[in-house]
Chain A
Amino acid sequence: MNQERKIRVLIAKPGLDSHDRGAKIVARALRDAGMEVIYTGLRQTPEQIVETALQEDVDVIGLSILSGAHTTLFPRIMELIKEKGLNDVLVFAGGIIPEEDVPEMKKIGIKEIFGPGTPTETLVKYVKENVKKKI
């Protein structure tokens, strides 16, 4: 029987901040929605995150950061993603990302930013509707 490939998601925590409550809730909600979820754990460098994404052959990367270091770390992650040819991977982010930074984050290729208070069902729906699945 040919089983459909599940959506593969990497939930990643770049930077040094250890606020993982949101990342873990998102990971669990996506898993409960039938996706294959890999959670990196804390304090991952951009290189480690992109390497894991490549190794795990993911369709989606969700980045969570609350320290304010997104302005330094997200551009580096997006650069590496392009370098490794992961152009079809859907990248979204969450955490504390001020409204005024959102246009810049979208310009570098982060497709959506979800702030505090986002219901998990919104995320599940977003991923399902926007993922480019590999066959």
Chain B
Amino acid sequence: MFDKKELARITREKERWQQTTLPKWLSEHPERQKEFHNTSGARINRLYTPEDIQNMNYTRDIGFPGEYPFTRGIHATMHRGRLWTMRQFSGFGTAEQTNKRFKYLLSEGETGLSIAFDYPTITGYDSDHPKAQGEVGRCGVAISSLKDFEILFDGIPVDKVTTSMTINGPAAVLLAMYIAIGDKQGVPRTMLGGTTQNDMLKEFFAQKLCIFPPKPSVKLVTDIIEYCAKNLPRWNPISISGYHIREAGASAVQELAFTLYDGIAYVESALERGMNVDEFAPRLSFFFASHNDLFEEIAKFRAARRLWARIMRERFKAKKPRSMWMRMHVQTSGCTLTAQQPLNNIIRVTIQSLAAVLGGTQSLHTNSFDEALCLPSEEAVRVALRTQQIIAHESGVANTVDAIGGSYYVEALTNEMEEKATKYIEKIDNMGGVYTAIEKGFFQKEIADSAFKYQQEIDTHKRKIVGVNDYKIANECITIPLLRVDPKVEEDQIKRLQKTRKERDNKKVKQTLDKLHDDAEKNQNLMPTIIDAVKAYATLGEICDVLRGVYGEYKELIII
């Protein structure tokens, strides 16, 4: 990237600096620490110069936005053309309450919906299941049948918004409900836009909300990929997620490597199904966390895009540029938020959002400052959304493409991220792939070790967390208002569910569930039958129970 003669001159000048200016300064002003590290444990140099990126080739490694390898962004004009989608993950209580929150967010300028489901929904239980006790509507909205979903989308035209659903094990059921709503609203299926998270692999080692064992889980994931490629061209059937991997404790490098490896496994699964790579790859989407170390995160996003493009072209021989695009959603990192001095979290979220925007994200969720204490209150959500709007309209960072590109530091970090992630990918390949790595507890152990190390760094004050292990307020009394979910939500939800079960055509329900059982045994794509079952008001729990009967249930591999 640099002229050889010029580079030699820079090297000479750097040596001179190292022997004159630097020691002179250091002798009177020692550095704060002996060494500096980022969260992945990489040592950060004092200074980065052209020497650190001398082996780079501009067109090969950095290139132009909208062109391979997409380091600078997947679109030619990035945020100068269209800002990222501001998509706040929300959901609590009943469908009525969440419908109200959705309308509030849309009226405040949000541009896409993102549904948080409660634990019973996520784990495939109806609201009246014994295991659901105390959990209904607590951490998300309770959805047991299409009845609930109809209320959730009351007055929200699904051809006017795109909707992201954080749902994995029962993803096919919730997607079927969305399709049913679209049908009811008279919206052609080709117009339905949104995302199902539908990334089961990370569940086995990160988020750990599993229903079925790994192989049938990936079969269901692939059913959705295949169904969407044929019927819902604007739907992202999967959001391959590093977020939960990071939140479970992984470093930035591990998040990058494990997420891309999951991506590789899904591509392989769809290829085994007989699909052509360019038929489904353009709709694969990704989801990452944005943590506190600004430049490490920016480098991670840039490396992720470049590495995925290379994997798709070299490993999977994709031809369409769109198949090589890594489109990403980013969420600021929940685990960095502190219960102490909660308003400080607004600043953390701002830094993390900057990383996401400078890293070239397509969509962003900003966490609310009260999230270490409770579900976000309306005020906290508004501040979170405003943070994005201020970055978009006031900070100026969205006015040029890849503003940080060309920084010696960030380019060197981007290279390092890619190299380290590539090593992990080779390691997992050699281990025999993703299933073996899960069975051996490889990911689980790597993540648990990183989580423990991070906590130790905090406990030993090697890592300062403002308000937690330093700059504390003595006898702090937290006075922000907390959102509480009324326990009556559970009662009301159960009443509605039982009424639905009574009033529906139970013969039809049984027929569709029997057909689902047969299709599952015959290894058919289950999407069409699940849509029929949902439309007959079969419940999420009933549908998942049929599949539990065929596939069995996953038993957690416990690794401390």
Footprint of B on A, CB under 8 Å? Answer: 15-18, 20-21, 24-25, 27-29, 31, 37, 39, 41-43, 45, 67-73, 96, 98-100, 115-117, 119-121
**21 A-B pairs whose Cβ atoms sit less than 8 Å apart in the complex:** A15-B135, A16-B123, A21-B248, A24-B560, A25-B455, A29-B452, A39-B558, A42-B556, A45-B131, A68-B139, A69-B135, A69-B138, A71-B134, A73-B133, A99-B478, A100-B482, A115-B339, A116-B372, A117-B340, A119-B458, A119-B459
B-chain residues with CB within 8 Å of residue A117 when the two chains form the complex: 338-340, 465, 468
Please tell me if the beta carbons of A96 and B135 are within 8 angstroms of each other in the complex. no
State how many angstroms separate the Cβ of A70 from the closest Cβ of chain B: 8
Verify B135–A16 contact, CB threshold 8 A.
Answer: yes
Q: Interface readout for B335-349 with A: 1 if CB under 8 Å, 0 if not?
A: 100111000000000
How far, in whole Å, are A37 and B558 apart by their CA atoms in the complex? Answer: 13
A72 to B138, CA, bound (A): 12
Q: Give per-residue flags for B111-141: 1 if the beta carbon is below 8 A from chain A beta carbons, else 0.
A: 0000000011011010000111111001100
Assembly CA distance A68 to B65 (angstroms): 45
B136 to chain A: closest CB distance in Å?
9
Interface centre among A98, A116, A121 (most CB of B within 10 A): A116
Contact assessment for B340 and A24 in the assembled complex, using a CB-CB cutoff below 8 Å = no
Q: Is the CB of A21 within 8 A of B249?
A: yes
Nearest 3 A/B pairs, CB to CB: A72-B134, A69-B134, A16-B119
Is there an interface contact between B455 and A120, defined as CB atoms closer than 8 Å?
A: yes
A121 pairs with B132, CB closer than 8 A: no
Inter-chain contact B134/A121, CB cutoff 8 Å? no
State the B residues within 8 Å of A (CB). Answer: 119-120, 122-123, 125, 130-135, 138-139, 207-209, 247-249, 335, 338-340, 372-375, 448, 451-452, 455-456, 458-459, 465, 468-469, 478, 482, 484-485, 487, 556, 558, 560
Q: A117-B339, A121-B459 are in contact. List 19 more A-B contacts (CB 8 A).
A: A15-B119, A16-B122, A16-B131, A17-B119, A17-B139, A24-B451, A24-B560, A25-B451, A28-B560, A29-B455, A39-B560, A43-B131, A67-B119, A68-B135, A68-B139, A72-B133, A96-B374, A98-B373, A117-B340
B127 CB to nearest A CB, Å: 12
Closest-CB distance, B435 to chain A (whole angstroms): 20
A16 neighbours in B (Cβ, 8 Å): 119-120, 122-123, 125, 131-132, 135
Write out the residue numbers on chain B whose beta carbons fall within 8 Å of the beta carbon of A15: 119, 134-135
Closest CB in chain A relative to B449 CB, distance in Å: 9
* Cα–Cα distance between A117 and B463 once the two chains are bound (Å): 13
Number of A-B contacts (CB under 8 A): 99
- Check A18–B207 contact: CB distance below 8 A: yes
A73 surroundings in chain B (CB, below 8 A): 133-134
Give B120's nearest chain A residue, CB to CB.
A16
Report the Cα distance A120→B455, complex, angstroms: 8
- Establish whether residues A98 and B482, one from each chain, have CB atoms under 8 Å apart when the complex forms: yes
Residue of B nearest to A65 (CB): B134
Q: Which residues of B contact A27 (CB under 8 A)?
A: 560
Q: Which residue of B lies closest to A16 (CB)?
A: B119
A21-B249, A98-B482 known; A120 and B138 CB under 8 Å? Answer: no
| CA–CA, A121 and B456, complex, Å | 10
Candidate in B125, B208, B338 with the most chain A CB atoms within 10 angstroms: B208
> Do A28 and B452 touch (CB < 8 A)?
yes
Tell me, rounded to whole Å, the shortest Cβ–Cβ distance linking B77 to chain A: 39
Q: Are B556 and A41 in contact (CB under 8 A)?
A: yes
A27 to B452 Cα, complex, angstroms? 10
For B209, the chain A residues whose CB sits under 8 A away are 18
Tell me which residues across on chain B come within 8 A of A120, comparing CB atoms.
455-456, 459
Please indicate the chain A residues that have their CB under 8 angstroms from the CB of B207 in the complex.
18
A18 lies within 8 A of B458 (CB):
no
* Chain B residues whose C-beta falls within 8 Å of the C-beta of A43 in the assembled complex: 123, 131
